[in-house]
Amino acid sequence: MDITVAKDHYSLTFDIYRKSTATDVIIPNDSYHPKEHKTAAIRYLYNRMETYNLTPQNRQKESNKIQQIPINNK
């Protein structure tokens, strides 16, 4: 699963789960994969962030991680 569910007193909170060993390297920029494949991977992450009912803090944290991924893939 790629989601963490935590129970507060009267509500549930959701967050995106990542293993501690995750490197966030999807497709390196210098690979010969089509550009559409590279952008599809990032679009998937944004779509996942928008699909789940994340708190504003968790949404911002996830957005920051997604923005870092293209930098890590250079």
pLDDT reading at 36 higher than 80: yes
> How confident is the prediction for the chain on average, in pLDDT?
87
Neighbours of 68 (CB within 10 A): 11
pLDDT of 43? 93
pLDDT of 2? 84
Return d(Cα 58, Cα 63) in angstroms, integer.
8
Measure Cα distances from 16 to 19, 31, 36, 74 in Å.
10, 27, 24, 24
Q: Which amino acid is at 37?
A: H
pTM of the entire structure?
0.79
Q: Are strands 3-7 and 12-16 parallel, antiparallel or unpaired?
A: antiparallel
**Which of residues 24 and 4 earns the better pLDDT score?**
4
pLDDT of 64? 94
Helices assigned H by DSSP within the chain: 35-51, 56-72
Q: Stretch 11-18: mean pLDDT, rounded?
A: 90
